[in-house]
């Protein structure tokens, strides 16, 4: 996967951060959880974190719980730019980290701005995967 070294520290929930929405090119498979773990280790430190289960990320208009298909959250049948753009803009406005993972192209990227290139990569097979991270020392 590309750009794993560029993943920023997205913090822990105790600091008011630690919420991440992974944007996935397809449904998550069991073996893909290793990729999520690698990202968390890079951001938070190897073995220094724990996840809420289930993880829930809320914005003013949306609730993402664990893994969900984007088209179902937005109640759209076909990819429509404006609802998708608004959805991700709202996530970023809440200072929630967005990490895009394209399994087919084997790429990882941090999304800091919702642009046309990102929007065009979202289709009816796209999913979001909410994660909340806590510091292991808190337990």
Domain residue spans of the chain: 4-138
| pLDDT (tens digit per residue) in 32-83 | 999 999 999 999 999 899 998 789 999 899 999 999 999 999 987 666 688 9
- In Å, how far are 29, 60, 84 from 119, measured between CA atoms? 23, 21, 7
Q: What average pLDDT is seen over the chain?
A: 89
| pLDDT (tens digit per residue) in 90-104 | 999 999 999 999 999
Distance CA(132)–CA(85), nearest Å, equals 23
82, two tokens: 């404006």
Name the residue among 78, 91, 82, 126 with its Cα closest to residue 19.
91
- pTM of the full predicted structure? 0.92
Distance CA(46)–CA(112), nearest Å, equals 24
| pLDDT (tens digit per residue) in 16-26 | 788 999 999 99
User: CA angle 102-109-101, nearest 5°?
Assistant: 25
115, two tokens: 């642009």
User: CA angle 94-96-100, nearest 5°?
Assistant: 135
């Amino acid at each position: 996967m590309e750009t794993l070294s560029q993943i920023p520290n997205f913090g822990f929930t105790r600091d008011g951060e630690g919420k991440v929405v992974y944007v996935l090119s397809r449904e998550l498979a069991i073996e893909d959880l290793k990729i999520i773990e690698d990202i968390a280790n890079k951001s938070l430190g190897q073995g220094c974190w724990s996840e809420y289960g289930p993880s829930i990320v809320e914005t003013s208009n949306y609730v993402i719980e664990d893994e969900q298909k984007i088209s179902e959250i937005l109640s759209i049948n076909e990819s429509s730019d404006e609802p998708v753009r608004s959805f991700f803009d709202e996530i970023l406005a809440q200072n929630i980290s967005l990490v895009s993972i394209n399994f087919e192209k084997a790429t990882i990227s941090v999304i800091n701005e919702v642009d046309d290139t990102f929007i065009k990569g979202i289709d009816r097979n796209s999913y979001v995967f909410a994660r909340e991270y806590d510091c292991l020392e808190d337990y």
